[in-house]
Amino acid sequence: MNAAQSWIVVADDAAATGLVEVARTLGTEVVAVVAGRRAVAEAVAGVVDRVLWLGEPGTAPVEAFAPDVARLVAEAAPRAVVGATTPGGRALLGAVGAALRSPVLAGVERVELAGDDVVVTRSVLGGISQHRTAVAGGPAVLAVDAGAAVAVSDTAAAVEEVAATPLPAQVVEVRPTTVAGVDLGAARVVVGVGRGLKAREDVALISGLAGALGGEVACSRPLAEGVDWLPKDRYIGISGQRVSPELYVAVGISGQLQHMVGVREAKVIVAVNSDKAAPVFAQCDYGIVGDLYQVVPALTAALGGTA
């Protein structure tokens, strides 16, 4: 094992600060293997020591390069391999984990070194418990939040092109999303709405409250995947965004752990729910038991907004 090195595997996405940060903690030399466009490889080259680039992908999806990525990583046998929790990142990590026969650890909160072993603090079972786990005998393979785009740097490592044989698959069409992205992480106040909402038009009610609080609108997963009333980057939880605002208001959300793990770091949590037995009331600081269709307009009014 090459204990001085840690590797990041990049799936055509310059949002990799999270990967680099973890990799720097675990190795003195950080090597990136980039599947995707040259521009991504060049961006990443500004923040790592060495870049192996698999060539222009053309119409191949990034996942087609997973075997090449795995082969390069396995040959180098670094101490740690870090990738993103995105669909493409997980595909690369899956191939790496398979090649190294090493578990891919998710829910990573902190990493450290204990001698040559990587020690990972991670949340397990949907976030109900936290484990400190030592990885010994082989590389640690870690799936982490990708983080922001890497900063532009004037001193960049050279991009070394490596021959690749991607699996045959072709992206034949891309229909870009039309909705603007939102950075919930920056919001001081977040108002999340769930299946307690009866109709798409009623999202306006929630926007009104968020406006009066100077916050952003978010939601539970079923509202973004299922009914599609809100964009996917606005749902909170283990498979969505994790936020730590000063104030989180959960409206018509039952409080299932997969949602609540995403707001655990919120300073104050308020819940509005018509069911007094809803689990959310055991996980909040303030609660109103009542019909959101009455409570939300009243709250907006009490805050001096227009309901």
Partner 1 sequence: MKIVVAYKWAPNPQDADVAADGSVDLGRAKWAVSEYDPVALELARQLADATGGEVIGLTVGAAGIDTPLARKAALSRGLDRLVLVADDALDGADGTRVAAVLAAAVRGIGDVDVVLAGDSSVDVAAGQVALTLAGTLGWLGLAAVSAVRVADAGTAGLVVERELPAGTAVVSVPTPVVLAATADAVVPRVAGMKDILAAAKKPVEVLSLAELSVAEPGAVLTTLATAKPGGAERTARIFDGSDAAAAATELVGALRQSGAL
For ligand FAD, the binding residues (CB under 6 A) are: 194-196, 220-222, 235-240, 252-254, 256, 258-259, 272-275, 278, 291-293
**CB of residue 45 vs partner 1: minimum separation in angstroms?**
22
Structure tokens at 51: 């870049």
State which residue, 37 or 234, has the beta carbon closest to ligand FAD.
234
**CB of residue 70 vs ligand FAD: minimum separation in angstroms?**
26
**CB of residue 66 vs ligand FAD: minimum separation in angstroms?**
23
The DSSP bridge partners found for residue 221 are none
Of the candidate spans 18-26, 155-163, 171-179, 193-201, the one that interacts with partner 1 by CB under 8 A turns out to be: 171-179
Which residues, 6 or more positions from 88, have their beta carbon under 8 angstroms from its beta carbon?
11, 12, 13, 35, 61, 62, 63
CA separation, residue 182 to residues 89, 225, 266, 288 (Å): 21, 17, 18, 28
**CB of residue 1 vs partner 1: minimum separation in angstroms?**
10
- What sign does the dihedral 244-250-253-257 (CA atoms) show? positive
Is 149 near partner 1 (CB under 8 A)?
no
Of the candidate spans 21-29, 43-51, 200-208, 286-294, the one that interacts with partner 1 by CB under 8 A turns out to be: 286-294
The binder of partner 1 chosen from 63, 72, 144, 187 (CB under 8 A): 63
Binder of residue 252, out of partner 1, ligand FAD, none (CB less than 5 to 8 A by kind): ligand FAD
Is 226 near partner 1 (CB under 8 A)?
yes
DSSP conformational letter for 48: S
State how far the Cα of 229 lies from the Cα of 219, in Å rounded to an integer. Answer: 9
The binder of partner 1 chosen from 116, 154, 176, 180 (CB under 8 A): 176
Binder of residue 91, out of partner 1, ligand FAD, none (CB less than 5 to 8 A by kind): partner 1
**Reduced to 3 states, what is the DSSP secondary structure of residue 106?**
coil
Closest CA to 304 of 215, 217, 211: 211
Pairing of strands 117-124, 50-53: unpaired
Is 8 near partner 1 (CB under 8 A)?
no
State how far the Cα of 202 lies from the Cα of 61, in Å rounded to an integer. Answer: 38
State which residue, 45 or 146, has the beta carbon closest to partner 1.
146
DSSP conformational letter for 235: B
State how far the Cα of 184 lies from the Cα of 231, in Å rounded to an integer. Answer: 12
**CB of residue 27 vs partner 1: minimum separation in angstroms?**
16
State which residue, 17 or 258, has the beta carbon closest to ligand FAD.
258
Q: How many other C-beta atoms are found inside a 10 Å radius of the C-beta of residue 304?
A: 7
